[in-house]
Amino acid sequence: MTPEKITSILGDEAQDLLTYRCTKVPKERLHLPSADFLDRHFVFSNRTPQTLRSLSQLYNHGRLAGTGYVSILPIDQGIEHSGGASFAANPMYFDPENIVKLAIEGGCNGVATTFGGLALMSRKYAHKIPFIVKINHNELLTYPNSYEQILFGTVRDAWDLGAVAVGATIYFGSADARRQITEIAAAFEEAHALGMATILWCYLRNDAFKTGGKDYHVAADLTGQANHLGVTIQADIIKQKLPENNGGYKALNIGNSSYGKLDERMYTDLATDHPIDLCRYQVLNCYSGRIGLINSGGASAGAGDLKEAVKTAVINKRAGGMGLISGRKAFQRPFEDGVSLLHTIQDVYLSNDIDVA
């Protein structure tokens, strides 16, 4: 895709997103994605040679192979959001083989989905595209609905079916967060011992984070701290929602409340309200980029999906992130359109005209 086409897709936001320069946290302070990222940041770590090989398989597959960037197809919404709600728009994805086929045709570095789906496809596809097993999920069948991530299988199961990585979600900030943190920390330790990479969905979940007419589940300061906890339990890649605002700590400390810790310089010296700066604060909290940040593509909204996908990719790349993990925008549309959307996202990372801000 040409730079002119990307500019056209971004429309009136193009100039701001493509020319902005970060001055609060300059790019020179970060460790940026590159062809030798694995050698520079993991080769002297405690990751085993088998884990390094698994990371290498992930980094060196698909259209972004050898760039240091990744494009991952995640489809676990059948459990997270119910199969009918997720796949009614495109019932072919009730069949897990079509999930794998979309990731392959879409040029992705890997496919992240459920135990059951990947287990059925293991012997046919595990050697053709890196498998990432999502080992825990929230489920919306318990009445009334609750929001707890629970394990759906073992790390050893994931290893046996040929996965190169396991993925997990922690709902940071939730009443159940401490159980999830200790559970997934142990799972990641086992995954590394078996030679697999680890990817953490660092999501926030607490009704109190919606206050004053704003949703601070997407605040840079709170999501940044979730990232910092994620890299502490040795996630090799962090998945996070793109930040949309800031000041979550401040909003939750109004009146006589006491929540967390903050320093005003978080807001004055390390970020602005610009979306690239907000995302850069997330990267900063991933050990200054030593652990790659991938942002999620978000829900499908129909006609505006292409622009939103390109916008998210541009913000992530220019902030110093490692890539995009986009599912619903791809699978909730006809197969060929989903492939095209994934390729368009990847074109942002392949473009030499879109640099780090």
Q: Tokens standing for 213?
A: 């007419």
Structural domain total, the chain: 1
Domain residues for 102? 3-350
Q: What is the mean pLDDT of the chain?
A: 96
Q: What are the φ and ψ backbone dihedral angles of 277, each rounded to 5 degrees?
A: -65, -40
At 99, list the tokens: 């999930």
Q: Report H helices in the chain.
A: 3-10, 14-19, 37-41, 49-59, 77, 83-87, 96-105, 115-125, 155-160, 177-194, 220-232, 248-251, 265-268, 275-284, 305-319, 328-331, 335-350
The CA–CA distances, whole Å, from 179 to 10, 147, 174 equal 42, 13, 10
Span 207-217, average pLDDT: 96
| Residue 303 forms part of a structural domain | yes
Residue type at 353? D
* 88-95: long-range pairs with CB below 8 Å, 24+: 89/300, 89/332, 89/333, 90/331, 90/332, 90/333, 90/334, 90/335, 92/335, 93/331
Tokens of 316: 């992530």
Residue pLDDT, tens place only, 139-196: 989 999 988 999 999 999 999 999 999 999 999 999 999 999 999 999 999 999 999 9
Tell me the longest C-alpha to C-alpha distance in the chain. 59
Amino acid at 108: C
CB atoms within 10 A of CB 264: 8
Beta partners for 198? 166
* pLDDT at position 298: 82
Structural contact between residues 44 and 51, judged by C-beta atoms closer than 8 angstroms: no
Identify the burial level of 214 via C-beta atoms within 10 angstroms of its C-beta, where 0-12 means exposed, 13-18 middle and 19 or more buried. Answer: middle
- By C-alpha distance, which of 323, 322, 324, 344 is closest to 333? 344
Q: At what angle do helices 3-10 and 335-350 cross, to 10 degrees?
A: 110
Residue 356: inside a domain: no
Residues 5, 124, 214, 239: which is the catalytic one? 239
Q: How far apart are CA 317 and CA 149, in angstroms?
A: 29
Residue 330 forms part of a structural domain: yes
State yes or no: pLDDT of 240 exceeds 90. Answer: yes
Residue 355 lies in a domain: no
Band of the pLDDT at 236, cuts 50, 70, 90? very high
Q: Which pLDDT band, with edges at 50, 70 and 90, does 110 fall under?
A: very high
What's the confidence (pLDDT) of residue 1? 75
Report the distance separating Cα 227 and Cα 316, nearest Å. 15
- Rounded-to-integer distance, Cα 246 and Cα 197, Å: 31
Amino acid at 166: V
Mean per-residue pLDDT, 269-298 = 97
The pLDDT tens digits of the residues spanning 15-44 come to 999 999 999 999 999 999 999 999 999 999
Whether 239 is a known active-site residue: answer yes
Give this prediction's pTM. Answer: 0.97
The verdict on residue 160 lying in a domain is yes
Q: What is the pLDDT of residue 301?
A: 82
Six-digit token string for 144: 């009334």
Q: What angle do CA 302, 65, 332 make, to 5 degrees?
A: 15
Q: 136-137 and 150-151 as β-strands: parallel, antiparallel, unpaired? A: antiparallel
Domain CATH for 91:
3.20.20.70
